[in-house]
Chains A and B, each alone.
Chain A
Amino acid sequence: MGLLNLMFGLKSFTHGIHPPYHKDTADKPIRRLAFPSQLVLPLDQHIGKAAIPLVKKGQEVVRGEPIAKADGNFSVPLHAPATGRIRDLELMPTPKGPKSASIVLDVYEGSTQEVLWSQPREMSELSREEILQAIQDSGMVGLGGAAFPSHMKLTIPKEKQVDTLIVNGCECEPYLTCDHRMMLEYPKALLRGIRYAMQASATTQAIIGIEDNKMDAVEVLRNNLSRGSAIRVEAVETKYPQGSEKMLIKSLLNREVPTGGLPADVGVVVNNVGTLAFLGQLLPKGQGLIERVITVAGPGIVKPGNYLVPLGTPVRHILEQAGYEGSRTEFILGGPMMGPAVSAMDTPITKGTSGLLVLNEPSIEDESQRIWPCIRCARCVKACPMHLNPSMLGLLAAKRKYEEMAQDYHLNDCFECGCCSYVCPSNIPLVQYFRISKAINREQAA
């Protein structure tokens, strides 16, 4: 593979997999779905401390108005995605799994649903700190799936030297095309967002990394850039998990984030294209993040596409709008490689949800899903982008030697991309074992 890349001049990392990509919705323009009658807004849609609600039961809110404030620096506020009345604060199911405190909003039927709340600002007059504050106030988090508060990501620790902003347009998960569509449809907003992010992080160059199955996006963005711009666009090999921060940094700059370290340790800060495209739109208007683009796709969906939906839209509503058929099905939020399965149809779309997939996998009881012993075929070793030894880790997990896994076999470097489970001919749930092992180690340490 390395040789091939040299020949074609395509940048990439070593190992990884080539799953079928199913990017069937790549030509479907972003469309708005009808508003649901009720929105569910968890206060902990982001990583960090949950937001503190600002509204009371029965209160009327307008679309765009803040309804929860950030709890300290490592937190972001929440804005009302629609005009309506607060029904209540209750525990509701979330994509993360356990139920969490959420604001439930009854949407006014027939409301125009224009954004009625904004505080326009002149971006060029803002200092670095003021931009970071503005980003926090917008409630922005990483829209690629991690939902890490963007202002935190762009805040570079004093002792670190960061020179490059990498803009992640890989979208390496199968099925998902929402980032692809945003690059095609909102190139100006994206480039604006990139400039804000460069200002906020004081970086001197930005590289937009895009997998080479989206060359149209590469072209559109290049056409929007002037010669000599500090922003450049680079195509990288289409390979999962190219969109993982560490892999993309390696591909574009040949820098390796050290074990347990952050991109800032090698002078890089990474942001997703969707995140920056929304920042580019929201910051000048002084508005908050109230909606996002998701890809609705999979074999069970009648009208697959890329849809702009208000945050808090329940899965049930999207399925009704996009239509779906099938009897025995799996509902995935995000991509098939790393996305969680939905356990309740009331689960809302949150800031970190990049897609809703309806898959029809063989049943767990199916003979093809039978778990065989490890035959040491080494396919997982050749797939692991972190160059771990999943085969050995799997054997140790089965023996419950969780500490040995962490100490001698780098368990904590695993970022759970799922390549090992994907390639395993014995159907051994390797990454699933590792998730549990990590959790047990965390519990032991606590």
Chain B
Amino acid sequence: MSKKPTIELRTSPHAHAGGDVVKIMRNVVYALIPISLFTVWQFGLSALALLIVVTLTCLLSERLFNRLSDEPNSLGDWSATITGLLLALTLPPGFPLWMGAVAGFIAIALGKALFGGLGMNAMNPALIGRAFVQAAFPVAITTWTPAFFEGRFSQFVPTTLTPPFLQPPALNDWVETVKVDAFSGATPLALQKFEGIQTELLDMLLGTTAGSAGETSALLILICGFYLAARKMLDWRIPLMVMLGAAATAGVFFLIDPTRYPDPLFVLCSGGLMLGAWFMASDMVGSPVTPLGVIIYGLMIGVITVIIRLFGGLTEGVMYAILLGNAATPLIDQITQPRVFGEQRTGK
């Protein structure tokens, strides 16, 4: 004993797996990067501007609320970045930037800071922001842009640069000028629901359809989701159960009347189901912790999504289904407490 040692005291365990929250969050960001890049390639400058504006707003809002509540800077935990990216990916690519900023602020303010920050939020912050603008700007949130339109890297979609507090212009005339074949201004979901037109499955897998910025390529979302699941940073049971619940519900109706109702594969690959299942329903904070609870929660989201899609006034139901799932989580957790080792259940 040459040097005099300093004894450090702490209670057991003296070993730790070493995975930390920041690492998980950072990996979610990694998984979202390919999806974000794809949407920029698909929709051009407008999508890029939307991603940047929404994410920056989220980061700035997070910092603002850190200041207001005298908490340390929490930008380093990446959670606000995730909220920003996810939120931007659920918006139409030509969504007015000022409305995107409103959505970002609401997401952090009402969805997260109000509850006490990371880990405390009852519902997915990005979806809170999305739900707010859905209610506030019903026209803008359903104004779609064709994918891969000509000149997307040199010009914005006209709606993108709508001045603050003004409504965006109609896109019909502009769509004519960018020469996209047979673009009807509707998403595959709307086409199917209101006009009975079936979009090709391949188009939905690859993302050559209209839709929210990050929701069009089901295949890409699956790959990115697998990455997180393989790194054990996402509970694969949740997206699996959401997809299962949705496919099963859709399957029942499809069997009853195949001409009126969409087939299960269409249901899985259209709209925000993939993004919602893999990146929002699976958000750890808002989902149950018990093994059985996770299954109930996932199935519930899948079933509700399809019910809303088929019978609701809206074309898409993923957002509300996940928010409902989040709301039910404490209850689900409570009623699905696992049987403790050695516990004798007596008619409880």
Asked if chains A and B come from one complex, the reply is: yes
Q: Which residues of A contact B (CB under 8 A)?
A: 17, 19-20, 174, 246, 250, 256-259, 261, 319-320, 324-332, 336-343, 345, 357, 359, 361, 363-364, 368, 372-378, 381-382, 385-389, 391-392, 409-410, 413, 416, 418, 421-423, 425-427, 429, 431-432, 435
Check A338–B284 contact: CB distance below 8 A: no
Given contacts A319-B1, A372-B77, A421-B13, contact A258 B344 (CB under 8 A): yes
Q: Which of B10, B288, B341 has the most CB of A within 10 A?
A: B341
| Chain A residues positioned under 8 Å from B252 (CB to CB) | none
* Complex CA–CA separation, A277 to B259 (angstroms): 77
* Complex CA–CA separation, A421 to B16 (angstroms): 7
Given contacts A375-B284, A413-B342, contact A425 B11 (CB under 8 A): no
Q: Which of B1, B77, B291 has the most CB of A within 10 A?
A: B1
11 example contacts (A-B, Cβ-Cβ < 8 A) are as follows: A258-B343, A327-B3, A332-B14, A341-B7, A376-B119, A376-B286, A378-B289, A381-B290, A388-B340, A392-B289, A431-B12
* Complex CA–CA separation, A127 to B49 (angstroms): 88
* Complex CA–CA separation, A341 to B9 (angstroms): 6
Check B290–A410 contact: CB distance below 8 A: no
Stretch at the interface among B17-25, B34-42, B218-226: B17-25
* Complex CA–CA separation, A409 to B334 (angstroms): 10
B337 at the interface (CB under 8 A from A): yes
Given contacts A381-B289, A389-B338, contact A337 B12 (CB under 8 A): yes
Check A373–B342 contact: CB distance below 8 A: no
Shortest CB–CB separation between residue A178 and chain B, in angstroms?
A: 18
Shortest CB–CB separation between residue A67 and chain B, in angstroms?
A: 30
Check A338–B12 contact: CB distance below 8 A: yes
| Chain B residues positioned under 8 Å from A431 (CB to CB) | 12-13
Shortest CB–CB separation between residue A8 and chain B, in angstroms?
A: 22
* Complex CA–CA separation, A341 to B15 (angstroms): 12
Check A246–B342 contact: CB distance below 8 A: yes
| Chain B residues positioned under 8 Å from A373 (CB to CB) | 117-120
Check A330–B8 contact: CB distance below 8 A: yes
| Chain B residues positioned under 8 Å from A410 (CB to CB) | 340, 343
| Chain A residues positioned under 8 Å from B343 (CB to CB) | 258-259, 410, 413
Given contacts A387-B338, A387-B341, A389-B289, contact A374 B14 (CB under 8 A): no
Closest 5 A/B residue pairs (Cβ): A418-B13, A373-B119, A378-B289, A336-B14, A372-B21
* Complex CA–CA separation, A422 to B343 (angstroms): 25
| Chain B residues positioned under 8 Å from A386 (CB to CB) | 340-342
Given contacts A339-B12, A392-B289, contact A378 B284 (CB under 8 A): yes
| Chain A residues positioned under 8 Å from B77 (CB to CB) | 372
- Chain B, residues 268-307, CB within 8 Å of chain A (1/0): the string is 0000000000000000111111110010000000000000
| Chain B residues positioned under 8 Å from A421 (CB to CB) | 13, 16
Shortest CB–CB separation between residue A112 and chain B, in angstroms?
A: 29
